[in-house]
Structure 1
């Protein structure tokens, strides 16, 4: 129906994504579906990246994800090759600065496939 506001199930606000996209002078008009698709793609990318980084963190018997774990993930996975320059520039922060124990991180770590650990029934492997 025209005039009704649509509610989409996305984690990143489409309005903010649209503003970021429009900061580029070459970008003209943006269809209303584009920011929603970008939001979903960003969510899927982050889930994949954090799941793989979480596996590395757990393999080192650590409970805190650090920049070093992310760097190792970026350098070990071909999918993240485009982040290598950024990872090389990142400084190694102290453990107290890198505590990533957010709700999203805990969900991913719970659902990560770890040898000897069964996944929850309501989760789907990536």
Structure 2
């Protein structure tokens, strides 16, 4: 096993982790021990995510955004990261998605307007019939 994996000293700056932890409104005091543990936990989390991302590269030389995004979207344990690392799509794919969305909105607007027209025509018909009955 790699000696870096078993070292107790975290690689991430403990002071920075301490500041991040204190930035939460729920936290008043952060002990030094908890900051060290959280630094080490964050380091292990980052290592795990990057190793899984590297396996997506098919033993390539370069770890890209798309590899990490694929890991996040394929493994349920990373659900909390899906908004932060969305799947990368092309401009053409984006345009197709937006066109479908606009078509769906137009379709739902057409249904709403036709039902509104129907209800307004029913109201006008009923008011005409009541007017006619009052005249007679």
Q: What is the match of residue 65 of structure 2?
A: 67
Q: What is the match of residue 31 of structure 1?
A: 31
Q: What is the match of residue 96 of structure 1?
A: none
* 1:46 correspondence with 2:35: no
Which secondary structure does the structure 1 equivalent of 2:83 belong to? helix
Task: Return the alpha-carbon distance in structure 1 between the equivalents of residues 28 and 80 of structure 2.
Answer: 26
Structure 1 gaps of 5+ residues are 1-7, 93-126
Which secondary structure does the structure 2 equivalent of 1:29 belong to? coil
Bigger helix fraction: 2
Which secondary structure does the structure 2 equivalent of 1:87 belong to? coil
Q: What is the match of residue 82 of structure 1?
A: 80
| Pairwise CA RMSD | 2.2
Structure 2 gaps of 5+ residues are 1-7, 91-136
Which secondary structure does the structure 2 equivalent of 1:86 belong to? coil
Q: Which has the larger radius of gyration?
A: 2
Compute the TM-score of the two structures, normalised by the length of structure 2: 0.54
Task: Return the alpha-carbon distance in structure 1 between the equivalents of residues 33 and 89 of structure 2.
Answer: 37
Task: Return the alpha-carbon distance in structure 2 between the equivalents of residues 73 and 20 of structure 1.
Answer: 25
Which secondary structure does the structure 1 equivalent of 2:51 belong to? helix
Task: Return the alpha-carbon distance in structure 1 between the equivalents of residues 64 and 46 of structure 2.
Answer: 15
Task: Return the alpha-carbon distance in structure 2 between the equivalents of residues 63 and 50 of structure 1.
Answer: 13
* 1:9 correspondence with 2:9: yes
**Preserved CA contact (<8 Å) 2:72 2:79:** yes
The number of residue pairs the alignment matches comes to: 83
Q: How far off is 1:74 after superposition?
A: 0.7
Which secondary structure does the structure 1 equivalent of 2:71 belong to? helix
